[in-house]
């Protein structure tokens, strides 16, 4: 066998997304706490920091002009306009981390996930599903971070967003938090065991990101 298998595999890109308020952020934190070999990619955004958020920890908080420069200079793997602000994934960090053989986690919106999937289908795309609409409305309100009109806008988008689940390989229903984290862990573990990830000629050579990115949304 020897030569058909790599001794080290390339990193796997895990993308979790789903409607806003579905608990993606909490799930991501729990997953990272339990899975130390997964590296989180911190996004850039033009939104203002919320109380307690710090530049370089939750996000890279940048001006609109700086964000536009990042787009122009192809520094973002994907970017999207989400609820009035720009968000984007820094390209160099993700590519370098994957090339080192480390697995990367993105937690991004659906538009961004679909941009990544078009150019990097060997990524692993997980849709986080809320248990129900009333529960989602309750979670958004309980978060207390957004004005009522923002919450109403997010709920209206939700119905449309849920239809995108068909474009994902995996779905995790965020009903019981610990169960959902267990399911995410199971997905991560299974993907690491895929033979194709270890083949010399496997499908994970991952050069699609070297091309200039699509235009964002
Ligand atoms: P928040 O402002 O509440 O932290 O995030 C708002 C939304 O933006 C969430 O759905 C989050 O997943 C998404 N988001 C965060 N970072 C990125 C990113 O880099 N790209 C895209 N497309 N969406 C992002």
Return the C-alpha torsion angle 188, 189, 194, 197, nearest 10: 60
Does residue 136 surpass a pLDDT of 80? no
Assess whether the C-beta atom of 24 lies below 6 angstroms from ligand 1: yes
Residue among 7, 14, 9, 5 nearest 120 (CA): 14
Within a domain: 67: no
Rounded CA separation 183/167 (Å): 19
Assess whether the C-beta atom of 103 lies below 6 angstroms from ligand 1: no
Within a domain: 149: yes
Within a domain: 90: no
Which token pair is 95? Answer: 């590519």
What is the pLDDT at residue 210? 58
* pLDDT digit string, tens, across residues 80-95: 998 899 999 999 999 9
Assess whether the C-beta atom of 161 lies below 6 angstroms from ligand 1: no
Q: Is the backbone of residue 2 left (phi > 0), alpha (psi -120 to 50) or beta?
A: left
What values do phi and psi take at 28, rounded to 5? Answer: -60, -45
What global pTM score does this model have? 0.87
Q: What percent of the chain has pLDDT over 90?
A: 65
* pLDDT digit string, tens, across residues 23-76: 899 999 999 999 999 999 999 999 999 999 999 999 999 999 999 999 999 999
Please list the residues that pair with 47 across neighbouring strands.
Answer: none
- Domain of residue 17 covers 13-41+102-200
Within a domain: 57: no
Number of domains in the chain: 1
């Amino acid at each position: 066998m020897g030569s058909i298998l790599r001794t080290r595999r390339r990193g796997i890109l895990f993308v979790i997304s789903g409607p806003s308020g579905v608990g993606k952020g909490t799930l991501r934190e729990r997953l990272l706490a339990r899975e130390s070999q997964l590296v989180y990619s911190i996004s850039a955004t033009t939104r203002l920091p919320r109380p307690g958020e710090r530049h370089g920890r939750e996000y890279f908080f940048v001006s609109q002009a700086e964000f536009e420069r990042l787009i122009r200079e192809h520094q973002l793997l994907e970017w999207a306009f989400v609820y009035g602000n720009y968000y984007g994934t820094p390209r160099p960090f993700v590519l370098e981390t994957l090339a080192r053989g480390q697995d990367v986690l993105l937690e991004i919106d659906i538009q961004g996930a679909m941009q990544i999937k078009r150019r990097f289908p060997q990524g692993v795309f997980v849709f986080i599903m809320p248990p129900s609409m009333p529960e989602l409305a309750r979670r958004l309100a309980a978060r207390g971070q957004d004005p009522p009109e923002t919450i109403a806008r997010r709920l209206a988008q939700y119905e449309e967003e849920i239809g995108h689940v068909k474009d994902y390989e995996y779905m995790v229903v965020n009903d019981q938090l610990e169960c959902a984290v267990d399911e995410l862990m199971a997905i991560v573990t299974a993907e690491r065991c895929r033979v194709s990830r270890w083949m010399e000629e496997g499908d994970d050579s991952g050069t699609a990101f070297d091309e200039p990115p699509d235009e964002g949304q």
